[in-house]
Structure 1
Amino acid sequence: MTMASQDAALEAGYRRVTREVTRIPLAFPHKRTWWIAFLAALSLLALYLVSACVTFAVGIGAWGNDIPVNWGIAISNYIWWIGIGHAGTLISAMLLLMRQRWRNSLNRFAEAMTLFAVVCGGLYPILHLGRPWFFYWMAPYPATMGVWPQFKSPLTWDFFAVLTYLTVSALFWYIGIIPDLAATRDRATRHSAQVFFGVLALGWRGAARHWARWRQAYRICAAIAVPLVVSVHSEISMIFAAGPVPGWMSTVFPPYFVLGAAFSGFAVVAIIATVTRHAFGLKDLITDLHLDMLGRLTLATGMMTAYGYFADVFGALYGGERYELHTLHERFFGEVAWAYWGAVILNFVPLQLLWLRRWRVNPIALLLVGFSVTVGMWCERYMLLVTTLYRDYLVSSWGHFWPSFWEWGLFFGSIGLWLTLFLLFIRALPMISAFEIKEATFEEEEAEAAHG
């Protein structure tokens, strides 16, 4: 093959990638299926809004919280949502800094997943306040009344952690999508689409100066985002580990929470990758390599999380402290033992399939493992909260806990909120980074030419 024919084939490949990515927002396929999914998501979102209104009108008493379980499903859902968002930052930011090119087909929707998960999680501390309309009191703004945040309060920690994570995630996602917004603008035929994508593209023309500034901003955001993966969930773990409650006083909590968050996040990314790959016929862009790498990451973080389980049990047995042993017994055999064993079984039994490549590249197997881990990690969050609180130091303080209808409504409604935002994203914006795939292809061709 001559050099000219190679260049022509490469150019044709570039055009095909751009066409595949931009056709989804410009000429969306499967509109009927999308509308069915969107209406289902809106129904759950309506349940969320009704549950929130009932909470505002009646108060937190509408939930199942009681004494001693004054932290219930709302806080466990908050941790679950924030944890899910961690994989998007890891796939995008850390792998970008490590120059891992296989991330290019996954990073865009992983970043969107992160952004929407942080939104769903960040609303929970606001809903949990007694007077949520005063949530801004947690910010250190110049208050003439002298009302300043209590920096010893976990609510203030949450405010800064979630706000920082949300801001950096939004900036990182938006900066990364600008070149593809410009490509979609240039391929749009309808005037409304040209204006919509043109405004979002911020005048991008693909000039050398634009690319230079873009790369600087993108890498700076990535460098800022990576430490947030550790800091945000470490801060959440310290809410527990800093308290004198049996089952929480463990130094393993910060790495345990961070790895568990990445574990659940990679599972959700695997679900999204397999579903979008099949739904939009993107097998050329989301290849077996991407499924294989997702399976490896899920397996690695899952086994690290399993070590956290082992360390938690070992610490209680080795320490021999009476109340720690009692909490461990409640997790194994108590009223909420279903949550502990559900977490162990759902997180780690199906996960063992991913030791074999043929299961890692099997979309159905990877999808089912992802669902199992997602549910299992929710059980873990629920178990960590309830089993440590419903049996207190004093027998007279022992109680029972079960979420109320409105708590379940907020939980399933938050899933509807996430689905609504994500469905709007894949309908209106490029969900795969076309220019980064083309850039990686060009570099591979250059490397082959240099060695050939």
Structure 2
Amino acid sequence: MSSNIDYSIEPEVVEGQPKLNQINEAIAKPLETRPSWKYLVALGISSTMLLIGAVCLGFSFYYGIGLWGNNQPVGWAIPIVNFVFWVGIGHAGTLISAILFLFRQRWRTGISRFAEAMTIFAVITAGLFPLIHTGRPWLAGYLFPLPNQHRLWVNFTSPLIWDVFAVSTYLTVSFVFWYIGLIPDLAMLRDRTKSKIKKTIYSIFSLGWRHSNRHWHHYEMIYLILAGFATPLVLSVHTIVSFDFAVSILPGWHTTIFPPYFVAGAVFSGFAMVQNVLIVVRKIFNLEHIITLDTLEKMNKVMLATGMMVGYAYGMEFFIAWYSGNPLESFVFLNRAFGNYAWAYWIMVSCNVIFTQLFWFKKIRRNIVAMFIIGV
């Protein structure tokens, strides 16, 4: 039986329709050539910000976490806000790589590796804040459920302990998922490099990959299994993070809308961060033919949808406060919208809900400058 399929034609891997050898060249070029001035500028800015962060942490360790505004009864302040922020940023990578993979959304292929890497670094950064906010991170070993000479034991009914297990599981699965997806690329770099040291390193981490049918079969199977593991983690991790607030009895926090609200907000902010990183990376490394405008436009549509979900959650918070008939609950939300910090609340609503409605217009969805500003 004859077939009309021409197997000599390479399949389209990225929506920009470059061939496989063009993709390999684009991936390998930054590692095989001297860094451009644009890369050095970006590295300098990042290094400066890292140095400032290290100095600020040093001051915090020396003078104490009272520098952050912590007092009684305000026990968390900046560290818990940063923890929730960075965990949320890390959700977009797994969403792009796992959920969109399960739904066979091919436009994810050009951006999945960036998103996965950003997820790992974001979750690692988030994991620092529970240690830092103790004020004495060198005693953090007592936070683990291990027998010790002081007979200290963790409180497993505390949401902070749930965070430890949720975030560590999420980091482990995300790292394995990212590494498995990276193996074919490492093998490609191994075959291209002429340096013996680099070839040895790439050979170790590519695990003997030879691009054979057998290897691809096992690769696709384990990638699908890990995508199945990672998908519920996207929902469960930020749900557990929301329990830091929802299981308390404080008015304004003790509400069942927090889990879906936090998940939608995490996907929303995570996509915005991935997009901003992609806009910079595609310009520095000349990847416009791989990270196309069509891909960025689809990301804007996801941000539009999740932004409306977040806006719905904002509105439902006020409705629940009114419907409950609890005067303390009503006071919290009225004070939030019309009290001393009303300016901060309405800036948040404007940035998260109102400005994202501009993505209804195609010209703005495909405008690099506009999407970068809205993403920020």
Using the size of structure 2 for normalisation, the TM-score is: 0.91
- Displacement of 1:61: 2.4
Q: Choose the corresponding residue for 1:291, options 296, 306, 311.
A: 296
Paired position in structure 1 for 2:235 = 230
- After superposition, the Cα gap between the structure-2 partners of 1:124 and 1:212, relative to the gap in structure 1 and judged at 3 Å, is same
Retained in 2: the 8 A contact 1:172–1:221? yes
Write the distance in 2 (CA, Å) between the matches of 1:77 and 1:22. Answer: 35
Retained in 2: the 8 A contact 1:247–1:324? yes
- 2:365 corresponds to 1:360: yes
Residue type at the aligned position of 1:208: N
- Displacement of 1:141: 3.3
Retained in 1: the 8 A contact 2:184–2:206? yes
- Displacement of 1:136: 3.1
Retained in 1: the 8 A contact 2:310–2:353? no
Deviations 1:166-223 (CA, angstroms, capped at 9, x unpaired): 1111111111111011101111133333233222212211223322222222222211
Write the distance in 2 (CA, Å) between the matches of 1:265 and 1:194. Answer: 35
- 2:85 corresponds to 1:80: yes
- Displacement of 1:24: 2.1
Q: Choose the corresponding residue for 1:24, options 22, 25, 30.
A: 30
Runs of 4+ in 1 over 6 A off after TM superposition: 3-6, 8-12
Deviations 1:362-385 (CA, angstroms, capped at 9, x unpaired): 2222111111xxxxxxxxxxxxxx
Retained in 1: the 8 A contact 2:110–2:290? yes
DSSP-derived class of the 1:247 partner: coil
- 2:72 corresponds to 1:71: no
Residue type at the aligned position of 1:236: V
Write the distance in 1 (CA, Å) between the matches of 2:201 and 2:374. Answer: 38
- 2:323 corresponds to 1:318: yes
DSSP-derived class of the 1:7 partner: coil
Residue type at the aligned position of 1:74: P
Deviates more, 1:325-334 or 1:81-90: 325-334
- 2:144 corresponds to 1:139: yes
1:169-248 to 2 correspondences below 5 Å: 169-248=174-253
Write the distance in 2 (CA, Å) between the matches of 1:346 and 1:13. Answer: 39
Q: Which structure is richer in relative contact order (CA contacts within 8 A, separation 6 or more)?
A: 1
Write the distance in 2 (CA, Å) between the matches of 1:219 and 1:138. Answer: 35
Residue type at the aligned position of 1:290: T
Retained in 1: the 8 A contact 2:39–2:284? no
1:21-420 to 2 correspondences below 5 Å: 21-30=27-36, 32-143=37-148, 146-371=151-376
DSSP-derived class of the 1:246 partner: coil
DSSP-derived class of the 2:254 partner: coil
Q: How many residues align?
A: 368
- Displacement of 1:93: 0.7
Residue type at the aligned position of 1:55: S
Retained in 1: the 8 A contact 2:89–2:119? yes
- After superposition, the Cα gap between the structure-2 partners of 1:16 and 1:67, relative to the gap in structure 1 and judged at 3 Å, is same
Write the distance in 1 (CA, Å) between the matches of 2:102 and 2:46. Answer: 35
Retained in 1: the 8 A contact 2:322–2:330? yes
Deviations 1:234-283 (CA, angstroms, capped at 9, x unpaired): 11111111111011111111000000000000111111222222332222
- Displacement of 1:115: 0.7
- After superposition, the Cα gap between the structure-2 partners of 1:187 and 1:123, relative to the gap in structure 1 and judged at 3 Å, is same
- Displacement of 1:149: 1.9
- Displacement of 1:6: 8.7
Deviations 1:70-121 (CA, angstroms, capped at 9, x unpaired): 2212111110111011111100011111221111001000001111111111
Using the size of structure 1 for normalisation, the TM-score is: 0.77
Write the distance in 2 (CA, Å) between the matches of 1:75 and 1:5. Answer: 56
Retained in 2: the 8 A contact 1:94–1:222? yes
Ranges in structure 1 where 5+ consecutive residues have no aligned partner: 372-452
Ranges in structure 2 where 5+ consecutive residues have no aligned partner: 13-17
Paired position in structure 2 for 1:7 = 8
- Displacement of 1:298: 0.6
Write the distance in 2 (CA, Å) between the matches of 1:168 and 1:66. Answer: 36
Retained in 2: the 8 A contact 1:259–1:304? yes
Retained in 2: the 8 A contact 1:60–1:130? yes
- After superposition, the Cα gap between the structure-2 partners of 1:103 and 1:10, relative to the gap in structure 1 and judged at 3 Å, is closer
Write the distance in 2 (CA, Å) between the matches of 1:14 and 1:206. Answer: 13
Residue type at the aligned position of 2:339: G
- Displacement of 1:40: 2.2
- After superposition, the Cα gap between the structure-2 partners of 1:6 and 1:13, relative to the gap in structure 1 and judged at 3 Å, is farther
Residue type at the aligned position of 2:278: A
- After superposition, the Cα gap between the structure-2 partners of 1:15 and 1:52, relative to the gap in structure 1 and judged at 3 Å, is same
Deviations 1:264-305 (CA, angstroms, capped at 9, x unpaired): 001111112222223322222112220121011110111011
Residue type at the aligned position of 1:25: L
Q: What percentage of aligned pairs have identical amino acids? A: 44
Residue type at the aligned position of 1:217: I
